[in-house]
């Protein structure tokens, strides 16, 4: 079974703090994704990566950056957290083709005060 | 504009009853359509995937249909159980060369009551 893990289930941070969200997958998947999910808006793609050290912007990249130094690990970075970044963050991975089934982690619920 | 619309937004049914969730899409060029189930506080899990040539796919008590002509899909749940309480998300894939894009619906929140 594919396993996607995220470093924290819940996080509370203060405005202006730098926040790191970590995601690890154990199935040698090429593609990894970061989404945020807000009530009434559904899932929105922040960034994705199709290879080590490669990254592409999704639909809402502003205020975020990512890092993929190893194939199994994809990090989302909030350089200076703001209250409008309070959300549920979901990491996902897929095997090779971008359109294959994505396997999601359990999510990190981030509260920025 | 590529869009995926789901209805209803929310639904309450009694345990043991059947229900049908709807997904309409305006996406081109269509590649495939998936239904995901998301339990509260968890990540989505894939239930079914259908390509253009498939018009029905089952996974246990879940049956998805696809009408590519009308651009509609439905997810039918038979003999509902309390564990079916979740959000169900319709996702349509668009292929663009070697890459692609996923268009997410906003989901239908299903509550199954005893």
Q: Does any CB of chain B come closer than 8 Å to the CB of residue A54?
A: no
| Interface mutation vs chain A, best among B3, B34, B43, B91, most A CBs within 10 Å | B43
Q: What is the pLDDT averaged over residues A64-83?
A: 96
| pLDDT greater than 70 at residue B79 | yes
Q: What does R_g of chain A's alpha carbons equal in angstroms?
A: 13
* Whole-number Å distance between alpha carbons of A58 and A64: 11
Quickly count: other Cβ atoms within 10 Å of residue B29's Cβ: 10
* Whole-number Å distance between alpha carbons of B35 and B65: 10
**Maximum distance among all Cα pairs of chain A, rounded to whole angstroms:** 39
pLDDT attached to residue B18:
97
pLDDT attached to residue A105:
96
| pLDDT greater than 70 at residue A2 | no
Percent of chain A with pLDDT over 70: 97
Q: What is the pLDDT averaged over residues A65-84?
A: 96
Q: What is the pLDDT averaged over residues B1-28?
A: 94
| pLDDT greater than 70 at residue B98 | no
* Whole-number Å distance between alpha carbons of B102 and A99: 7
Nearest to A42 among B46, B100, B107 (CB): B107
Average of per-residue pLDDT values in chain A: 93
Residue of B60, B107, B61 whose CA lies nearest to B87: B107
Q: How far is CA B62 from CA B13, B38, B41, B85, in A?
A: 16, 14, 22, 13
| pLDDT greater than 70 at residue B99 | no
| Interface mutation vs chain A, best among B102, B104, B105, B107, most A CBs within 10 Å | B102
Query: How sure is the predictor about B30, in pLDDT bands with cuts at 50, 70 and 90?
Result: confident
pLDDT attached to residue A96:
79
Q: How many CB pairs under 8 A join A and B?
A: 43
Q: Does any CB of chain B come closer than 8 Å to the CB of residue A90?
A: yes
Q: What is the pLDDT averaged over residues B3-16?
A: 96
| A104: chain B residues, CB-CB within 8 Å | 43-45
User: What is the secondary structure of A21-45 as a DSSP string?
Assistant: EEEEESS--SEEEEEEEETTTEEEE
| pLDDT greater than 90 at residue B31 | no
Q: Cβ of B100 and A99 within 8 Å?
A: yes
| pLDDT greater than 90 at residue B52 | no
Percent of chain B with pLDDT over 90: 77
* Whole-number Å distance between alpha carbons of A32 and A48: 6
Are A64 and A56 in contact, with CB atoms under 8 Å apart?
A: no
| pLDDT greater than 80 at residue A80 | yes
Q: Which two tokens stand for residue A79?
A: 């350089």
User: What is the secondary structure of A64-93 as a DSSP string?
Assistant: EEEEEEETTEEEEEESS--GGG-EEEEEEE
| pLDDT greater than 70 at residue A1 | no
Nearest to A101 among B34, B100, B106 (CB): B34
| pLDDT greater than 80 at residue B97 | no
Q: Which of residues 31-50 of A touch B (CB under 8 A)?
A: 40-45
Query: How sure is the predictor about B88, in pLDDT bands with cuts at 50, 70 and 90?
Result: very high
pLDDT attached to residue A100:
83
Burial B100-113 (b: 16+ CB within 10 A, else e): bbbbbbbbbbbebe
Q: Which two tokens stand for residue A77?
A: 């970075």
* Whole-number Å distance between alpha carbons of B13 and B86: 12
């Amino acid at each position: 079974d594919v396993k996607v893990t995220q470093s924290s289930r819940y996080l509370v941070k203060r405005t202006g703090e730098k926040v790191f969200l970590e995601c690890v997958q154990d199935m040698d998947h090429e593609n990894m994704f970061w989404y945020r999910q807000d009530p009434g808006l559904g899932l929105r793609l922040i960034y994705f990566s199709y290879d080590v050290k490669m990254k592409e912007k999704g639909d809402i990249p502003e205020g975020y950056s990512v890092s993929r130094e190893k194939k199994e690990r994809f990090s989302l970075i909030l350089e200076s957290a703001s209250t409008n970044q309070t959300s549920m963050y979901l990491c996902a991975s897929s095997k090779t083709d971008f359109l294959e089934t994505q396997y999601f982690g359990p999510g990190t619920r981030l509260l920025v005060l | 504009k590529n869009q995926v619309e789901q209805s209803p937004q929310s639904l309450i049914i009694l345990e043991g009853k059947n229900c049908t969730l709807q997904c309409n899409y305006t996406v081109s060029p269509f590649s495939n359509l998936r239904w995901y189930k998301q339990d509260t506080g968890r990540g989505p899990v894939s239930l079914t995937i259908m390509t253009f040539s498939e018009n029905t796919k089952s996974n246990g008590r879940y049956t998805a249909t696809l009408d590519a002509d009308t651009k509609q899909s439905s997810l039918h749940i038979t003999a509902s159980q309390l564990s079916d309480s979740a959000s169900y998300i319709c996702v349509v894939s668009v292929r663009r060369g070697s890459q692609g894009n996923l268009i997410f619906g906003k989901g239908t929140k299903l509550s199954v009551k005893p």
